[in-house]
């Protein structure tokens, strides 16, 4: 491998860039365990008071429970709908397939603010602003693309002859799907569900419009206090969110390894 | 080839599939499609088309919202500013992301996995959490200022956020993985033998890089840049928290119009403009690179 640029320089530059990428995460976690009442670094001592503060505050815990609720329901709905879409678009053969695919993945790329105000105008007519169904409805369209992309990739990746064998041996399509296709693509579907969960759980822009005052999600609660509350409680919440992200990342990686086998 | 032929590859079975069966097959796929499509149409397409109408009717057809936007320079300035900021962030991401992607594509797989985690972990962490982290680091009494003062480099705190510097740091950190992942995936596919061949024929490492590796990596660079640019255009949380008063991006402007001024028609017009820009650029990305690429798949 002689096509390297001067290695030392490359490593030094890359080291700094990696620092930029990872630094925020490594600053917030120590501060959340600080004894200081403001954002002092390095922390003068170790304490769990900010976590205690978070767990004993009603509006923080309520927001967390609401976020868990919304993310769980969204995950179930989006995984089912996204998988149905993926199956019909990958296995089916009809006109307009690509168009439907592009349409269904577009929420991934359309700026969130556009989706946010469009659904806000519509949902205020339906009077579901500030409710769990309103949040679930908005998050579902936002998470379907992730499910669609991941499950489609999984479906394309496996040998169709197994489905054909099952069909030619007399199983009907439903039975074939449940007994042959589903077990094979299960890791892909689980990855997709985990993705959907984290996207919904972390979502803020739509929440700013749809939460109202009656259904405040965890990111919305953070947003409300982020400019005013200078004690490290928000650092503790952030660290918990980072913990959730790491856990889901590990699970997704595990599922991917399983799929490859 | 229709789906039934694909299924029943055996010739004797193909002969059994009549036109009617083929039609039934088609209906079956459409049945599966119906529910998710209906949900997307009512909860997503319909609200967006309503928003389009809201920008054009009051209650009679009118272009006033659009004229208003382009006529008053402080409004169109926001759009220009949004482009400027997103382009700057894209260029910075390119300069920082290219070496990282290069390193990832040339190191051994064990170190690569570790480095990959450092790219993907931030990618998985909420935008809000990372923006908050930058507020903690860059604030007036933030971590960086505390350290610089303790170490004696400065005597009074520097202004590191609520200005363009803060927004760029935050946006670049958030968008960098979107640059690195597509660039890396193209670089990883480059045949390394080409470089070896050029070297054996006497090319210097610099020549090999600039004449072979760089041109072959350009599709990834193009994909990553387009992706970063499009996502950057719609940024809201980061510029709102890390930017100053003059660093307004169009998303923040739309939010103010809706939540504070209740100017729905005008906000809709701006959203439609932003949507049009996104929809013009995105097909280029999708055509060349596909949606799954940046998710590391």
> A169 by DSSP, 3-state: which?
coil
pLDDT number for residue A140: 97
Q: What is the mean pLDDT of residues A229-255?
A: 89
| pLDDT greater at residue B36 or residue A260 | B36
- Neighbouring CB atoms inside 10 A of A3's CB total 20
The reported pLDDT for the residue numbered A41 is 78
Average pLDDT over residues A94-115: 90
Q: What pLDDT band is residue B196 in, cutting at 50, 70 and 90? A: confident
pLDDT digits (tens, 9 = 90+) for B56-82: 988 888 888 888 888 888 888 889 999
Set of chain B residues whose Cβ sits within 8 Å of the Cβ of A115: 44, 48
Contacting residues of A for B40, CB less than 8 Å apart: 103-104, 141, 144
Report the gap between the CA of B41 and the closest CA in chain A (Å): 9
pLDDT exceeds 50 at position B1: no
Most confident of A6-20, A68-82, A104-118, A182-196: A68-82
- Residues B235, B276: Cα–Cα separation, whole Å: 16
A92 touches chain B (CB under 8 A): yes
In sequence order, the β-bridge partners of residue B137 are none
Residues of A in contact with B1 (CB under 8 A): 93
Q: In chain B, count of helices (H) and strands (E)?
A: 16, 0
Computed over every residue of chain B, the mean pLDDT equals 85
Nearest chain B Cα to A111, which residue? B234
Return mean pLDDT, chain A.
89
**Residues B40-48, mean pLDDT to the nearest whole number:** 95
B173 and A227 in contact by Cβ < 8 A? no
Does residue B8 carry a pLDDT above 60?
no
DSSP label of B49? H
Answer yes or no: is A177 within a domain: yes
Residue A145 in domain: yes
Q: What percent of chain B has pLDDT over 70?
A: 87
Asked whether residue A30 is domain-assigned, the answer is no
**Residue A10 belongs to some domain of the structure:** no
pLDDT at B180: 94
Average pLDDT over residues A80-101: 89
Q: Cβ–Cβ of B45/A39 closer than 8 Å?
A: no
At B297, list the tokens.
């798949």
Radius of gyration of chain B (CA): 25
What ipTM, to 2 d.p.? 0.89
Is pLDDT above 80 for B2? no
Distance, CA of B280 to CA of A252 (rounded, Å): 33
What CA–CA distance (Å, rounded) separates A223 from B210?
46
Classify domain B66-295 at the CATH topology level. MetI-like fold (1.10.3720)
B residues 146-165 lying closer than 8 A (beta carbon) to A:
146-147
CA angle, corner B20, sides to B16 and B22, nearest 5? Answer: 75
Alpha helices in B201-261 (DSSP H): 205-208, 214-233, 237-242, 250-259
Of A20, A54, A19, A22, which Cα lies nearest the Cα of A240? A54
Interface A–B counts its CB contacts (< 8 A) at 273
Q: What is the pLDDT of residue B297?
A: 36
User: Residue B263: what pLDDT?
Assistant: 84
- DSSP 3-state assignment of B103? helix
Least confident of A120-134, B11-25, B137-151: B11-25
Nearest CA to B235 among B98, B96, B81?
A: B81
Q: How far apart are CA A194 and CA B120, in angstroms?
A: 15
Beta-bridge partner residues of B57: B61
A257 to chain B, minimum CA–CA distance in Å?
A: 12
Domain that holds residue A76: 57-260
Q: Looking at the complex, does the CB of residue B27 fall below 8 Å from at least one CB of chain A? A: no
| Digit-coded pLDDT (tens) for A140-176 | 999 999 999 999 988 888 777 888 888 888 888 788 8
pLDDT of res. A261:
61
The domains of chain B are located at 23-62, 66-295
Q: Residue B93: which of B144, B169, B161 has the closest Cα?
A: B169
- d(CA A17, CA B158) in angstroms, rounded, equals 22
Instruction: Please report residues of B whose CB lies closer than 8 A to that of A39.
Output: 136, 139, 141-143
Is A17 within 8 Å of B2 when comparing Cβ atoms? no
The band of A18, judged by pLDDT with boundaries at 50, 70 and 90, is very high
Q: Do A31 and B292 touch (CB under 8 A)?
A: no
**C-alpha distance from residue B218 to each of A10, A102, B186, B263 (Å):** 19, 25, 8, 43
Q: Do the Cβ atoms of A202 and B36 come within 8 Å?
A: no
Token output for B81: 């500013």
The answer to whether residue B256 scores a pLDDT higher than 50 is yes
Q: Residue B99 above 70 pLDDT? A: yes
Instruction: For residue B232, give the nearest of B201, B277, B289, B268 by alpha carbon.
Output: B277
Higher local confidence (pLDDT), B18 or A150: A150
Of B136, B192, B297, the CB nearest to A28: B136
Q: How far apart are CA B294 and CA A126, in angstroms?
A: 36
3-state secondary structure labels for all residues of A57-94: CHHHHHHHHHHHHHHHHHHHHHHHHHHHHHHHHHHCCC
Number of domains in chain A: 1
Highest-confidence segment of A23-27, A238-242, B109-113: A238-242
Check residue B60 and give its pLDDT: 84
Which residues 108-147 of B are in CB contact (within 8 Å) with A?
Answer: 115, 118-122, 124-130, 132-137, 139, 141-143, 146-147
- C-alpha–C-alpha distance, residues B200 and A1, integer Å: 11
pLDDT at B13 over 60: no
Residues B230-246 have pLDDT tens digits of 999 999 999 999 998 88
Confidence of residue A2 (pLDDT cuts 50, 70, 90): very low
Residue A146 placed within a domain? yes
What average pLDDT does range B32-52 have in this prediction? 93
Any chain B CB within 8 A of the CB of A227?
yes
Tell me what the mean pLDDT of segment A192-213 comes to: 93
Interface of B with A in 55-94 (CB under 8 A): none
- Asked if A113 and B136 come within 8 Å (Cβ–Cβ), the reply is no
Query: Which range, of B16-20, B46-50, B177-181, averages the lowest pLDDT?
Result: B16-20
CA distance B64 to chain A (A): 20
Cα–Cα dist A233/A36, whole Å: 11
């Amino acid at each position: 491998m002689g096509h390297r640029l001067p290695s030392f320089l490359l490593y030094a530059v890359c080291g700094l860039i990696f620092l930029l990428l990872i630094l925020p995460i490594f600053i917030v976690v120590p501060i959340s365990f600080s004894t200081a009442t403001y954002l002092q670094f390095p922390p003068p001592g170790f304490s769990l008071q900010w976590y205690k503060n978070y767990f004993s505050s009603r509006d923080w815990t309520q927001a967390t429970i609401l976020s868990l609720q919304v993310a769980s329901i969204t995950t179930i709905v989006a995984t089912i709908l996204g998988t149905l879409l993926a199956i019909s678009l990958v296995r089916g053969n009809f006109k307009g397939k690509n168009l439907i695919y592009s349409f269904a993945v577009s929420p991934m790329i359309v700026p969130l603010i556009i989706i946010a105000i469009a659904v806000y105008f519509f949902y205020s007519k339906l009077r579901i602003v500030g409710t769990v169904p309103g949040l679930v409805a908005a998050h579902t369209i936002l998470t379907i693309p992730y499910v669609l992309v991941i499950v489609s990739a999984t479906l394309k990746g496996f040998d169709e002859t197994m489905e054909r064998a099952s069909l030619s041996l007399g199983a009907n399509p439903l039975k074939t799907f449940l007994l042959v296709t589903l077990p094979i693509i299960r890791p892909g579907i689980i990855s997709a569900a985990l993705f959907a969960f984290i996207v919904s759980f972390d979502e803020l822009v739509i929440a700013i419009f749809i939460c109202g005052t009656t259904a405040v999600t965890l990111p919305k609660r953070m947003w409300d206090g982020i400019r005013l509350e200078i004690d490290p409680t928000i650092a503790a919440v952030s660290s918990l969110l980072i913990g959730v992200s790491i856990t889901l990342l590990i699970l997704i990686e595990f599922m991917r390894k399983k799929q490859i086998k | 080839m229709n789906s039934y032929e694909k299924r029943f590859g055996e010739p004797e079975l193909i002969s059994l599939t009549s036109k009617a069966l083929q039609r039934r097959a088609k209906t079956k796929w459409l049945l599966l499609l119906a529910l998710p499509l209906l949900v997307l149409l009512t909860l997503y397409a319909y609200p967006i088309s309503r928003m389009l109408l809201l920008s054009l009717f009051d209650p009679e057809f009118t272009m006033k919202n659009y004229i208003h936007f382009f006529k008053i320079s402080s409004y169109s300035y926001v759009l220009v500013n949004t482009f400027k900021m997103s382009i700057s962030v894209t260029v910075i991401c390119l300069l920082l992301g290219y070496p990282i992607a290069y390193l990832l594509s040339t190191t051994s797989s064990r170190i690569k996995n570790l480095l990959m985690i450092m790219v993907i972990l931030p990618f998985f962490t909420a935008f809000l959490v990372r923006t908050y982290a930058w507020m903690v680091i860059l604030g007036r009494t933030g971590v960086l200022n505390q350290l610089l003062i303790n170490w004696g480099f400065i005597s009074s705190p520097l202004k590191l956020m609520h200005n363009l510097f803060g927004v760029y740091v935050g946006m670049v950190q958030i968008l960098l993985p979107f640059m690195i992942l597509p660039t890396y995936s193209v670089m990883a596919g480059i045949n390394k033998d080409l470089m070896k061949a050029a070297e054996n024929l006497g090319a210097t490492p610099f020549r090999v890089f600039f004449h072979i590796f760089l041109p072959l990596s350009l599709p990834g660079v193009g994909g990553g840049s387009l992706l970063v640019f499009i996502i950057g255009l719609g940024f809201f949380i980061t510029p709102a928290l890390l930017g100053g008063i003059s660093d307004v991006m169009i998303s923040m402007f739309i939010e103010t119009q809706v939540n504070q001024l209740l100017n729905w028609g005008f906000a809709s017009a701006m959203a439609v403009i932003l949507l049009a820009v996104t929809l013009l650029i995105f097909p280029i990305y999708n055509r060349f690179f596909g949606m799954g690429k940046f998710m590391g798949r």
